[in-house]
């Protein structure tokens, strides 16, 4: 019995992780249940053993997509002489631009969150608050600048993704890093 519960929990987790990556890449309207279940290595028919609806899956996956990289932030800023610069260099990078499936959910889900159900909007708002708190801490005496910095960082990655792998995109990322972190 315990093995079955463990397997079900592992399958559930796999479905959520696959969906989180897909919605960061494609938006919340795109990944179909059949596609997600196939990628998770499960049958389409097993979906309702884990979720009451596709909307339930999207809400849980959005919360995962939004928080999935939070554990990396302490690693990024730990031991840095300039913690703000370390965070900005990590966030506004070519690597982040080129990895929407593994990147920040705030960038990927902004437009979708505004059109989604309350659970997705609440998860989005909670992550924005976490980022604002982090930036307030990193900015110290200049903490009132946190909303501007967050908007600048998110907007830079969003625009850079739209421009793709191009000199203009890289120039934009470089300029934002210099403007925000000096």
Average pLDDT over residues 17-45: 93
Contacts of 29 (CB under 8 A, 6+ apart): 112
SS3 104: coil
Average pLDDT over residues 116-139: 97
Quick check: 4 pLDDT over 90?
Answer: no
- Dihedral of CA atoms 19, 25, 29, 32 in degrees, nearest 10, equals -50
Distances in Å between the Cα of 43 and the Cα atoms of 11, 64, 93, 132, 150 are: 11, 22, 37, 40, 40
Contacts of 21 (CB under 8 A, 6+ apart): 65, 101, 102
At 2, the pLDDT band (50, 70, 90 cuts) reads low
Q: For 136-174, what is each residue's pLDDT tens digit?
A: 999 999 999 999 999 999 999 999 999 999 999 999 999
Quick check: 43 pLDDT over 60?
Answer: yes
Average pLDDT over residues 122-146: 96
| Helix pair angle (146-163, 118-139), 10° resolution | 110
Q: What domains are defined for the chain? A: 2-65 (1.10.10.60), 66-181 (1.10.357.10)
pLDDT at position 3: 62
Quick check: 1 pLDDT over 80?
Answer: no
Q: For 54-93, what is each residue's pLDDT tens digit?
A: 999 999 999 999 999 999 999 999 999 999 999 999 999 9
Whether the Cβ atoms of residue 120 and residue 113 lie closer than 8 Å to each other:
yes
pLDDT at position 18: 96
Looking at the chain, the number of H-run helices and the number of E-run strands are 10, 0
**Residue 148 CA to its chain's centroid (Å):** 19
């Amino acid at each position: 019995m315990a093995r079955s519960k463990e397997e079900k929990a592992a399958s559930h987790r796999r479905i959520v992780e696959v969906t989180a990556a897909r919605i960061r890449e494609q938006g919340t309207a795109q990944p179909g249940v059949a596609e997600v279940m196939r990628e998770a290595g499960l049958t389409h028919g097993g979906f309702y053993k884990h979720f009451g609806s596709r909307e339930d899956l999207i809400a849980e996956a959005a919360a995962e997509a939004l928080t999935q990289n939070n554990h990396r932030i302490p690693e990024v800023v730990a031991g840095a002489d300039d913690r703000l610069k370390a965070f900005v260099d990590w966030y506004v990078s070519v690597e982040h631009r080129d990895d929407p499936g593994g990147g920040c959910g705030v960038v990927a889900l902004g437009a979708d969150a505004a059109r989604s159900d309350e659970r997705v909007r609440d998860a989005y708002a909670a992550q924005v608050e976490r980022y604002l708190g982090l930036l307030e801490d990193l900015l110290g005496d200049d903490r009132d600048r946190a909303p501007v910095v967050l908007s600048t960082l998110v907007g830079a990655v969003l625009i850079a993704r739209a421009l793709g792998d191009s000199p203009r995109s890289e120039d934009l990322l470089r300029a934002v890093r210099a403007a925000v972190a000096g």
